[in-house]
Structure 1
Amino acid sequence: MAKPPTVEDVARVAGVSRQTVSNVLNSPEIVRESTRERVTAAITQLAYRPHAAARQLRTRRSSTIGVHLDPYTGGISGVLLDRFVHALTERASERGMRILIYSARTAEEEMERLGDLIDGGEIDAVVVTGTFFGDPRTGWLASRDMPFVSFGRPWGGDDVFRSPHTWVDVDGAAGTRTATRYALSAAGPRVGFLGWPSDGGTGDDRERGWRETMNEAGLIAPRFETADGLAIARATMTSIFAEGDTLAELDALVCVSDALAVGAHLAAADAGRRSLPVIGFDNTPVAEALGISSVEQSPELVAAGALDLLMGPTGTVVALRGSDSAPEHILVEPRLIIRPEGPDVS
């Protein structure tokens, strides 16, 4: 078995001292950019990976990022966070970092859990998931001077781009805007929307893309709402379709999630309009299996963006920001996955 490369090997290939390599690994901000690039190239060439335990002893850092994993609740939408955590783990490993997954059922319980991890020196940074209006976790982390980035915007403010913390998110409005434009061109002018009750966050953002696109085109189509979940969406749309001419008046339906899209797709099939174009959001395996077009969030790009914000584009340690550093934001634009007519579900 070949001997793994050492710091000395990296230094020799890069033409620098061992200390310079150590500085690039542990304090990259003090190294000139040109030198840092040479060392980074040598690390990549040799596939060198720092020994995490040894680095922890030298730097008093854990080389670990904590990320919250929501409790399992069933359904078809949880796959998005699973993909995000998987991608985050892979990309962090490439930078010599580890991911520590913790669970908590409430924000208060999560802050208590994080307090233990921080006080024990077990994590260098946190990735916050599932942000919501009035989220207390971000302010609490800032008060502890713990580097963090949230997957999700700080909903509820007048201008989220002026938020006091760093975040990465998916542009939901851009996704439904693309979906609505496609439906208008491929199916007709009566493109409805099936969304959640107003939440001041993700659901409203996705609905905005549909509404703005329809307004720009000077078109009017119905908007329906239901709680999240395949069964309840199917029951809701079955009831609506049975009321009269609603189904006949629809050319297509854009949905806030795949769970709602699958429910609407099945309800339309039950009512004799199996060919009604339905577009979901999340691009889950269930949507793929049923041949339902859907907006792909690309959680892998979100994971890469989160690490870039925490560590810099090529960093191997968490960058400690000064109190005067402006927070940074990344908005990932999703893409529409168009699928042909799916299998017969009647």
Structure 2
Amino acid sequence: MAKAPTVEDVARVAGVSRQTVSNVLNSPAIVRDATRARVERAIADLGYRPHIAARALRTRRSSAIGIHLDPYAGGVSGVVLDRFVHALTEKAGERGLRVLLYAARSADEEIERMRELVEGGEVDGFVVTGTFHGDPRTGWLIDRDIPFVAFGRPWGIDDVDDPAHLWVDVDGAAGTRAATAHLVAAGIGSVAFLGWPAGSGTGDDRERGWRDVAGAAGVRLTAEEDVTAARAVVAAALADRPGIAAVVCASDTLAIGARLAAASVGRDAMPIIGFDNTPAAEALGLSSIEQLPERVADGVLQLLTGPSGAFVAPQAATAGAAHVLVEPRLVLR
């Protein structure tokens, strides 16, 4: 088995001292740009990975990022967050960082878990998922100056010109806009939208993209995140409005319900596009909008590790530099 590269190996290849390599890993701002680039190139070429335990002792950092693991609830769309956590763990490991998972059943319980992890020195920062209007978790972290990045924008406030914190999100409106434009360009006819009841920031954003193309006359349908409920809503709509020629949906769960409804009235060929591109959508041959959680993970680490890239040192939440918006991909089947 080949011996893992060491700091000394990196120093030798880069033509610098061992201390300079250490500075690049732990205090990159004090190293000249050209020297830092040479060391980073040597690290990449050698595949060097810092020893986490040793670095924790030296820097008094845990080199760990905490993230909440949602309770298992079955269904179709939960796989997206699972894929994100996997990507985050893999990409953090490449930077010499660890991801620490914790469970909680409510926002208040999650805040308590965060408190325990911070007071125990077990994490250097957090990734907050599933943000919503008036989210108490982000306020708690901001008040205590604890580093974090949200996967999901801070709904209900000015998150671009006057950002309260760092965030990464998928541009849901861009996804549904592209899906609707594709159907309209194909001459499909009236494109309806099947979303969740109003009040969901994510759902409202996805509806907005469809509305940009469909216009005020577009047919908007709503259902809870449930295949049976979606099937009933779409079946009733097709009976009342036979002119509906296609449906863009806020999730793959809703799209599966819509597909079953269309099939039940003999309209198997009616175009239906979901959101999330889950394995279920792929198996059923449904077109869908893919969130690209690997790019979200890249964005989270870019914001959370700032210029260093190797430890939690988030960049400032300033206008124009506090967020990463990932454009999703339309997958046609």
Q: Which residue of 2 aligns with 1:342?
A: none
Determine the C-alpha separation between the residues in 1 that align with 2:130 and 2:207: 19
Q: Which residue of 2 aligns with 1:275?
A: 269
The answer to whether the Cα contact below 8 Å between 1:79 and 1:284 also exists between their aligned partners in 2 is: yes
Distance apart, 1:240 and its partner CA: 3.1
Task: Provide TM-score, normalisation by structure 2.
Answer: 0.96
Determine the C-alpha separation between the residues in 2 that align with 1:205 and 1:315: 31
- The aligned runs of 1:85-164 (5 Å cut-off) are 85-164=85-164
Q: Which residue of 2 aligns with 1:47?
A: 47
- The aligned runs of 1:197-276 (5 Å cut-off) are 197-215=197-215, 220-242=217-239, 244=240, 246=241, 248-276=242-270
The answer to whether the Cα contact below 8 Å between 2:67 and 2:101 also exists between their aligned partners in 1 is: yes
Distance apart, 1:239 and its partner CA: 3.2
Tell me, which stretches of 5 or more residues in structure 1 are unaligned? Answer: 340-346
Q: Which residue of 2 aligns with 1:295?
A: 289
Q: Which residue of 2 aligns with 1:181?
A: 181
Distance apart, 1:86 and its partner CA: 0.4
The answer to whether the Cα contact below 8 Å between 1:278 and 1:292 also exists between their aligned partners in 2 is: yes
* Identity percentage of aligned residues: 63
The answer to whether the Cα contact below 8 Å between 2:238 and 2:244 also exists between their aligned partners in 1 is: no
Counterpart secondary structure, 1:280: strand
The answer to whether the Cα contact below 8 Å between 1:254 and 1:279 also exists between their aligned partners in 2 is: yes
Task: Provide TM-score, normalisation by structure 1.
Answer: 0.92
Distance apart, 1:36 and its partner CA: 1.2
Distance apart, 1:70 and its partner CA: 1.1
Determine the C-alpha separation between the residues in 2 that align with 1:62 and 1:118: 10
The answer to whether the Cα contact below 8 Å between 1:40 and 1:314 also exists between their aligned partners in 2 is: no
Determine the C-alpha separation between the residues in 1 that align with 2:266 and 2:200: 35
Distance apart, 1:79 and its partner CA: 0.5
The answer to whether the Cα contact below 8 Å between 1:127 and 1:149 also exists between their aligned partners in 2 is: yes
Determine the C-alpha separation between the residues in 1 that align with 2:40 and 2:90: 18
Determine the C-alpha separation between the residues in 2 that align with 1:124 and 1:325: 24
Determine the C-alpha separation between the residues in 1 that align with 2:250 and 2:315: 36
Determine the C-alpha separation between the residues in 1 that align with 2:229 and 2:318: 48
Q: Please identify runs of 4+ aligned residues in structure 1 that moved more than 4 A.
A: 158-161, 320-327
Q: Which residue of 2 aligns with 1:328?
A: 322
Q: Which residue of 2 aligns with 1:312?
A: 306
| Offset from partner CA, 1:110-151 (integer Å, 9 cap, x none) | 010010100111001100000000001112112222111000
Distance apart, 1:189 and its partner CA: 2.9
Determine the C-alpha separation between the residues in 2 that align with 1:235 and 1:133: 29
When residues 121 and 193 of structure 1 are mapped into structure 2, their CA distance, relative to the original with a 3 A threshold, is: same
When residues 140 and 299 of structure 1 are mapped into structure 2, their CA distance, relative to the original with a 3 A threshold, is: same
Counterpart secondary structure, 2:248: strand
Counterpart secondary structure, 2:53: helix
Determine the C-alpha separation between the residues in 1 that align with 2:300 and 2:93: 14
Query: How many equivalent residue pairs?
Result: 333
When residues 158 and 96 of structure 1 are mapped into structure 2, their CA distance, relative to the original with a 3 A threshold, is: closer
Question: Are 2:20 and 1:16 equivalent residues in the alignment?
Answer: no
